[in-house]
Structure 1
């Protein structure tokens, strides 16, 4: 894709559209499984592709977006806001996210997106509390 991080996050939105109907425990299990699979796959992909966090690796964005949406009210407004916030934090990498990506292997690929997910989740919670009380 031309913008692989954005494409990967859009894939995350599609997965979320299906997974948002799950109750909390299955949703968390899905997130955990994607993090484990993503860490393993990203590490293997780095070895095969010969580069650190190759742009063709997008499972980190998928998992990150799903984590960003944990316990966020369902609905397209929050899904779209989550998309833009997640992309913002993934690109800007505020402290300590930029340091996280220095880790080697699959964990280094995944961890910065999980950090962006935490920032996104916090902002979405603030928005939700402001709107819904």
Structure 2
């Protein structure tokens, strides 16, 4: 007798689920985190149009909002950090691209860096992923991955500017 796990019941009509699932991008059958990361592109474009302090306010808002919507969605489906919950990738990639020129080379480098840190989860990201729970726990490891990605990308941009 085999045990089959019930599929989570996401309700895209609920605004919390809709956002937590990255506008539905998290429902991709393969690589939902990658599709969720791509869902951040319109936000990254918009944040590139405003002053850095407003872009940072947006990133912080996305983080706080994500703590709520990801936590609520996880609670609703009864599963912590289900793969379809990708708002954390949206916010993390937005952080990666904060104050970075909206150019395809930097978008690609930021995307690759963020996905690397999000998937590999080196210390301290892995520690955060394992030890911190709830909506904050879902979000914080991706924000750490976004911050590490941003540090490297920002250094690369500065190096390019002075070379």
Structure 1 runs, 4 residues or longer, greater than 6 Å off: none
For 2:122 and 2:42, locate their aligned partners in 1 and report how far apart those are by CA, in whole Å.
26
Matches within 5 A, 1:51-62: 51-62=79-90
Query: How far has the Cα of 1:14 moved from its partner?
Result: 2.7
Question: Whose relative contact order is higher, 1 or 2, with alpha carbons under 8 Å and at least 6 apart?
Answer: 1
CA RMSD of aligned residues (A): 1.1
Query: How far has the Cα of 1:67 moved from its partner?
Result: 0.8
For 2:53 and 2:154, locate their aligned partners in 1 and report how far apart those are by CA, in whole Å.
19
Matches within 5 A, 1:33-112: 33-102=61-130, 103-112=132-141
Bigger helix fraction? 1
Number of paired residues?
133
The answer as to 2:149 corresponding to 1:115 is no
Query: How far has the Cα of 1:71 moved from its partner?
Result: 1.8
For 1:122 and 1:26, locate their aligned partners in 2 and report how far apart those are by CA, in whole Å.
19
Q: 2:158 aligns with which of 101, 123, 129?
A: 129
Could you list the runs of 5+ residues in structure 2 that have no partner in the other structure? 1-27
Instruction: State the Cα deviation string for residues 19-59 of structure 1 (Å, max 9, x = none).
Output: 21111122112111111110011111111111110112111
Verify the 8 A CA contact 2:48 2:101 in the aligned structure 1: no
Verify the 8 A CA contact 2:48 2:99 in the aligned structure 1: no
SS of 2:34's partner is: helix
Which has more radius of gyration? 2
Scaled by the length of structure 2, the TM-score of the pair is 0.77
